[in-house]
A and B are shown apart, each in its own frame.
Chain A
Amino acid sequence: MPADGGIGAPNKRREDVRFLTGKGRYTDDINMRGQAYVWFLRSNVAHGRITSIDTAAAAAMPGVIRVFTGADFEGVGSIPCGWQVTDRHGEPMQEPAHPVLAQGKVRHVGDPIAAVVAETAEQARDAVEAIEVEIEELPAVVDMKAALEEGAPKVHDDLTSNLCYDWGFVEENREAVNKAFDEAAHVTTLELRNQRLVANPMEPRVAIGDYAAHNDESTLYTTSQNPHVIRLLMGAFVLGIPEHKLRVVAPDVGGGFGSKIFHYAEEAFCTFAAKQLKRPVKWTSTRSEAFMTDAHGRDHVTKIELALDKDNNFTALRTETYANMGAYLSTFAPSVPTWLHGTLMAGNYRTPLIYVNVKAVFTNTVPVDAYRGAGRPEATYQLERVIDKAARELGVDPIALRRQNFVTEFPYATPVAVEYDTGDYVATMDKLEEIADLAGFEKRLEESKASGKLRGLGVNCYIEACGIAPSHLVGQLGARAGLYESATVRVNATGGLVVMTGSHSHGQGHETAFPQVVAEMIGIDPNMIEIVHGDTANTPMGMGTYGSRSLAVGGSAIVRATEKIIAKARKIAAHLMEASEGDIELKDGQFTVAGTDKSVAWGDVTLAAYVPHNYPLEDIEPGLEETAFYDPNNFTYPAGAYACEVEVDPETGKVTIERFAAADDFGNIVNPMIVSGQVHGGLGQGIGQALLEQAVYDENGQLLTGSYMDYAMPRADDVPFYAIDHSCATPCTHNPLGVKGCGEAGAIGSPPAVVNAVVDALQRAGRNVTHIDMPLSPSRVWEAMNQ
Chain B
Amino acid sequence: MYAFDFERPSTLDEAVAALGAEGAQALAGGQTLIPTLKQRLAMPETLVSLTGLAELKGISASGGVLTVGAASTHAEVARQTDHPGLAGLAGGIGDPHVRNRGTIGGSVANNDPSACYPAAVLGSGAMVVTNAREIAADDYFTGLFETALEEGEIITALRFPIPEKSAYVKFEQPASRFALVGVFVSKSEGGVRVAVTGASEEGVFRWSEAEAALASDFSPAALDGLSASAENLIGDIHGSPAYRAHLIGVLTKRAVAAAA
Interface size on B, residues (CB 8 A): 15
Q: Are B237 and A782 in contact (CB under 8 A)?
A: no
Kindly identify, within residues 665 to 724 of chain A, every residue whose CB is under 8 Å from any CB belonging to chain B: 691-692, 694, 696, 704-705, 708-713
In contact, B176 and A779 (Cβ under 8 angstroms): no
Q: Does A651 contact B (CB under 8 A)?
A: yes
Judge whether B171 and A710 touch: CB under 8 Å: no
**B212: shortest Cβ distance to chain A, in Å?**
23
CB-nearest residue of chain A to B249: A651
In the complex the two chains form, what is the Cα distance from A713 to B174 in whole Å? Answer: 8
| A residues in contact with B237, CB < 8 Å | 694, 696, 704-705, 710
B39 within 8 A of A: yes
CB pair B171–A652 under 8 Å, yes or no, is yes
Question: Nearest chain B CB to A786's CB is how many angstroms away?
Answer: 8
Which residues of chain B have C-beta atoms less than 8 A from A708's C-beta? Answer: 175-176
Is B94 among interface residues, defined by CB-CB distance under 8 A? no
- Chain A: minimal CB distance from B173 (Å): 8
A733 within 8 A of B: no
Q: How far is the CA of A637 from the CA of B48 in the complex (A)?
A: 62
Give the distance in Å from the alpha carbon of A226 to the alpha carbon of B94 in the complex: 38
The stretch from B5-13, B159-167, B240-248 touching chain A is: B240-248
Report which of A125, A778, A783 forms a contact with B171, defined as CB distance below 8 A. Answer: A778
Query: Is A782 in contact with B238, judged by CB distance below 8 angstroms?
Result: no
CB contacts (< 8 Å) of A713 on chain B: these are 175
Contacts of B174 in A (CB 8 A): 691-692, 712, 777-778
- For window 25-74 of chain B, which residues contact chain A by CB distance below 8 Å? 39-40
Within the assembled complex, what's the spacing in Å between the Cα atoms of A288 and B35?
12
B152 beta carbon closer than 8 Å to chain A: no
Q: Chain B residue with minimal CB distance to A710?
A: B175
The answer on a CB contact under 8 Å between A652 and B176 is: no
Instruction: Answer yes or no: B239 CB below 8 A from chain A CBs.
Output: yes
Contact with A along B67-83 (1 / 0, CB 8 A): 00000000000000000
Q: Which residues of A contact B250 (CB under 8 A)?
A: 651-652
B238 touches A779 (CB 8 A): yes
B240 pairs with A779, CB closer than 8 A: yes
A782 to B, closest residue via Cβ: B243
Shortest beta-carbon distance from B255 to chain A in Å: 13
Most interface-central of A654, A705, A712 (chain B CB within 10 A): A712
CA distance A694 to B175 in the complex (A): 10
Give per-residue flags for A705-749: 1 if the beta carbon is below 8 A from chain B beta carbons, else 0. 100111111000000000000000000000000000000000000
**A4→B213 CA distance, assembly (Å):** 73
Chain B 225-260 residues near chain A, CB threshold 8 A: 237-240, 243, 246-247, 250
Q: Kindly report which residue of chain A lies nearest to residue B174, judged by CB atoms.
A: A712
Q: Are A783 and B243 touching (Cβ within 8 A)?
A: yes
The reply to whether B240 and A709 form a contact with Cβ atoms under 8 Å apart is no
Closest partner residue, chain A, to B250 (CB atom): A651
Nearest chain A CB to B248 CB, angstrom units: 11
Q: Compute how far the CA of A777 lies from the CA of B39 in the bound complex, rounded to whole angstroms.
A: 28
Rounded to whole angstroms, the CA-CA distance of A691 and B175 in the bound complex is: 11
Contact B240 A712 (CB under 8 A): no
Q: Are A709 and B175 in contact (CB under 8 A)?
A: yes
For B246, what are the chain A residues with a Cβ–Cβ distance below 8 Å? 782
What chain A residues lie within 8 Å of B240 (beta carbons)? 779, 783
**Minimum C-beta distance from A778 to chain B (A):** 7
Chain B residues with Cβ below 8 Å from A777 are: 174, 238
Min C-beta distance of B50 to chain A, whole Å: 25
* Contact A710 B176, beta carbon cutoff 8 Å: yes
Instruction: Give Cα distance in the complex from A547 to B239, angstroms.
Output: 36
Segment 634-664 of A: residues with Cβ below 8 Å from B: 651-654
Tell me the nearest residue of chain A to B171, going by C-beta.
Answer: A652
User: Within the assembled complex, what's the spacing in Å between the Cα atoms of A709 and B175?
Assistant: 5
Assembled-state Cα–Cα distance A709/B39 (Å): 13
Measured between beta carbons, the chain A residues less than 8 angstroms from B238 are 710, 777, 779
Contacts A652-B171, A652-B250, A777-B238 known; A709 to B243 CB distance under 8 Å?
A: no
User: Which residue among B174, B238, B246 has the maximum number of chain A CB atoms within 10 Å of its CB?
Assistant: B174
A782–B239 Cα distance when bound, in Å, is 10
- CB pair B175 A779 closer than 8 Å: no
Closest to B239 in A: A779
- Give A439 to B207 CA distance when docked, in angstroms: 47
* Interface positions of A from 757 to 785, Cβ below 8 Å from B: 777-779, 782-783
Smallest CB separation, A37 vs chain B (Å): 16
Least CB distance, A605 to chain B, in whole angstroms: 57
- Which residues of chain B are near A782, meaning CB under 8 Å? 243, 246
B247 / chain A contacts, CB cutoff of 8 Å: 652
Complex Cα spacing A125 to B247, Å: 43
Chain B residue numbers with a CB within 8 Å of A705 are 175, 237
The closest CB in chain A to the CB of B181 belongs to A652
**Residues of A close to B176: CB separation below 8 A:** 708-710
Contacts of A653 in B (CB 8 A): 243
Q: Which residue of the partner chain B has the closest CB to A714?
A: B174
**Complex Cα spacing A545 to B209, Å:** 61
Q: A536-552 vs B: 1/0 string, CB under 8 Å?
A: 00000000000000000
Known A710-B175, A711-B175; contact A779-B243, beta-carbon cutoff 8 A: yes
Q: Which residue of A lies closest to B243 (CB)?
A: A779
- CB A608 to nearest CB in B, in angstroms, measures 60
Distance in Å: Cβ of A687 to nearest Cβ of chain B: 13
The distance from the CB of A40 to the nearest CB of chain B, in whole angstroms, is 14
In the complex, what distance in Å separates the CA atom of A694 from the CA atom of B237?
A: 10
**Distance between Cα atoms of A125 and B40 in the complex (Å):** 10
A574 to B175, alpha carbons, bound, how many Å? 66
- Bound form: Cα–Cα A704–B246 in Å: 24
Distance, CA A741 to CA B124, complexed state (A): 58
Roughly how many angstroms separate A692 CA and B176 CA in the complex, as a whole number? 11
- A328 CB to closest chain B CB, in angstroms? 26
B228–chain A nearest beta-carbon distance, Å: 14
Closest Cβ–Cβ distance, residue A235 to chain B (whole Å): 36
Contacts of A696 in B (CB 8 A): 237
A715 to chain B: closest residue by CB: B177
A708 vs B237: C-alpha distance when bound (angstroms): 13
Interface centre among B240, B243, B247 (most CB of A within 10 A): B243
Least CB distance from B198 to A in Å reads 13
Contact status A288-B39, CB under 8 Å: yes
Q: What per-residue 1/0 map shows which CB atoms of B134-168 lie under 8 Å from chain A?
A: 00000000000000000000000000000000000
A578 to chain B, nearest CB (A): 70
The closest CB in chain A to the CB of B95 belongs to A715
Chain A residues, Cβ within 8 Å of B175: 692, 705, 708-713
- Measured CA separation A778–B176 after assembly (Å): 14
CB distance from A42 to the nearest CB of B (A): 14
A651 to B223, CA, bound (A): 15
Distance of B189 from chain A, by nearest CB (Å): 32
**Alpha-carbon distance A692/B172, docked complex (angstroms):** 12
For residue A654, which residue of chain B has the nearest CB? B171
Chain B residues whose C-beta falls within 8 Å of the C-beta of A288 in the assembled complex: 39
Q: Which chain B positions have C-beta within 8 A of A778? A: 171, 174, 239, 243
Chain B residue with minimal CB distance to A713? Answer: B175
CB-nearest residue of chain A to B39: A288
Q: CA–CA, A651 to B251, complex, Å?
A: 10
Collect the chain A residues with CB atoms within 8 Å of residue B40's CB.
Answer: 125
Q: Output the least CB separation between A787 and chain B (Å).
A: 12
Bound complex: CA A712 to CA B239 (Å): 14
Cβ distance B104 to chain A, nearest Cβ, rounded Å: 22
A176 to B243, CA, bound (A): 47
Chain B window 177-198, contacts with chain A (Cβ cutoff 8 Å), 1 for yes, 0 for no: 0100000000000000000000
18 residue pairs bridging A and B, Cβ less than 8 Å apart: A651-B250, A652-B247, A652-B250, A653-B243, A654-B171, A692-B175, A694-B237, A696-B237, A705-B175, A705-B237, A708-B175, A710-B237, A712-B175, A713-B175, A777-B174, A778-B171, A779-B240, A779-B243
Give 6 A-B pairs besides A652-B247, A696-B237, A710-B175 with Cβ atoms closer than 8 angstroms: A125-B40, A653-B243, A711-B175, A712-B175, A782-B246, A783-B240
Ranked 8 nearest A-B pairs via Cβ: A712-B175, A779-B239, A712-B174, A709-B176, A779-B243, A651-B250, A710-B175, A696-B237
Spell out B's residues near A (CB within 8 Å).
39-40, 171, 174-176, 178, 237-240, 243, 246-247, 250
